[in-house]
């Protein structure tokens, strides 16, 4: 074998090694981007779960806020039947909000913002329990707070109180409605436990989505670069192989 043949063979071997190295490098880069993408997706999934949980809490507190305001709205409490309906709706909405805040934390385990969910629920329950006078007045009209912080209404006692002292009953309901409204408003505000959590989680979700899009774009760009390099190497290898064949055919 002459020098030209040896050179052609060496060049061909070098090109083959380059192509193999390029492919191995491409596989490593692809694997790295895949793992990074999986980590970001896991984070997005976790944030999505948290955001959903706080979305439910936000909705239930908004419902409690509306029900609380209705207790002092004469248009919605014009008759005895209206005031009883408003009181029943209030108790139901209050309980849903308290239970949603509690169950969201328990169901999702270690939520990033579970402390805020617990604080929001505690704040709502304390609205009733912290004021001894309010608790006593509610008890007189048949509404009591249970050990878990939720409310229960004795309809018979409520009806009796409504018949005996309608003005006092309405005053009691209006007073507790204002307090719960204030609590819900505070928790739903931007700097409140619920409002702050929803906003921060939403921003986190947007950030992760943007990060994932950037990673996908970078992965595509790298893939295109590797593909172009592989094409050039293949062309060079084919050219070298043709030259090698010509030399040995002489």
pTM listed for this prediction: 0.71
At residue 233, the pLDDT reads: 65
pLDDT at 126 over 60: yes
Tokens of 144: 């009591």
Place of tokens 């806020």: 65
For the chain, first and last CA: distance in Å?
12
- Tell me the backbone φ, ψ of residue 227, rounded to 5 degrees: -65, -40
Task: Return all residues near 84 (Cβ < 8 A) that are at least 6 apart.
Answer: 155, 158, 159, 162
| Cα dihedral value 164, 166, 172, 176, nearest 10 | 130
Distance from chain centroid for Cα 246: 67
Q: What is the mean pLDDT of residues 164-180?
A: 96
Tell me the C-alpha distance between 212 and 216, whole Å. 6
pLDDT band at 184; cut points 50, 70, 90: very high
Within 10 angstroms of residue 199's Cβ, the number of other Cβ atoms is 14
Tell me the C-alpha distance between 77 and 160, whole Å. 17
Task: Return all residues near 33 (Cβ < 8 A) that are at least 6 apart.
Answer: 215, 218, 219, 222
pLDDT > 70 fraction of the chain, expressed in percent and rounded = 72
pLDDT band at 232; cut points 50, 70, 90: confident
- 12-31: per-residue pLDDT in tens? 566 566 656 656 665 666 66
- For 155, how many CA atoms within 13 A lie in the half-sphere containing its CB? 7
Place of tokens 């018979």: 156
168 to each of 29, 63, 171, 172, how far by Cα in Å?
74, 25, 5, 6
Q: β-strand 151-153 against 143-145: which pairing, if any?
A: antiparallel
Tell me the C-alpha distance between 44 and 49, whole Å. 9
At residue 109, the pLDDT reads: 47
144 to each of 138, 157, 196, how far by Cα in Å?
6, 11, 31
Q: How do the domains of the chain map onto residue ranges? A: 3-249
Place of tokens 């304390």: 126
* Residue count (the chain): 250
- 64-94: per-residue pLDDT in tens? 999 999 999 988 899 999 999 999 999 999 9
- 92-123: per-residue pLDDT in tens? 999 999 999 988 776 554 454 558 888 999 99
187-191, 201-205, 229-233 — most confident range: 187-191
Distance from chain centroid for Cα 164: 49
pLDDT band at 200; cut points 50, 70, 90: confident
Q: Which of 212, 184, 217, 185 is CA-nearest to residue 47? A: 212
Tell me the C-alpha distance between 240 and 220, whole Å. 30
Average confidence score pLDDT of the chain = 81
């Amino acid at each position: 074998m002459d020098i030209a043949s040896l050179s052609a063979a060496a060049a061909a071997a070098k090109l083959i090694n380059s192509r193999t190295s390029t492919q191995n490098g491409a596989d490593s880069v692809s694997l790295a981007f895949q793992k990074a993408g999986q980590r970001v997706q896991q984070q997005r999934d976790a944030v999505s779960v948290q955001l959903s949980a706080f979305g439910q809490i936000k909705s239930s507190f908004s419902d409690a806020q509306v029900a609380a305001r209705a207790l002092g709205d004469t248009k919605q409490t014009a008759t005895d039947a209206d005031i009883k309906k408003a009181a029943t709706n209030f108790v139901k909405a209050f309980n849903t909000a308290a239970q949603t805040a509690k169950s969201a934390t328990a169901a999702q385990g270690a939520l990033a913002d579970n402390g805020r969910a617990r604080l929001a629920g505690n704040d709502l329950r304390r609205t009733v329990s912290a004021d001894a006078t309010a608790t006593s007045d509610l008890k007189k009209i048949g509404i009591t707070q249970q050990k878990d912080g939720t409310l229960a209404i004795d309809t018979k006692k409520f009806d009796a109180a409504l018949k005996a002292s309608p003005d006092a009953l309405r005053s009691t309901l209006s007073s507790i409605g204002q307090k719960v409204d204030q609590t819900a408003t505070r928790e739903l505000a931007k700097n409140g436990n619920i409002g702050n959590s929803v906003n921060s989680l939403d921003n986190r979700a947007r950030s992760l989505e943007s990060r994932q899009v950037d990673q996908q774009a970078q992965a595509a760009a790298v893939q295109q670069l590797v593909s172009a390099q592989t094409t050039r190497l293949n062309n060079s290898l084919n050219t070298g192989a043709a030259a090698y064949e010509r030399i040995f055919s002489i």
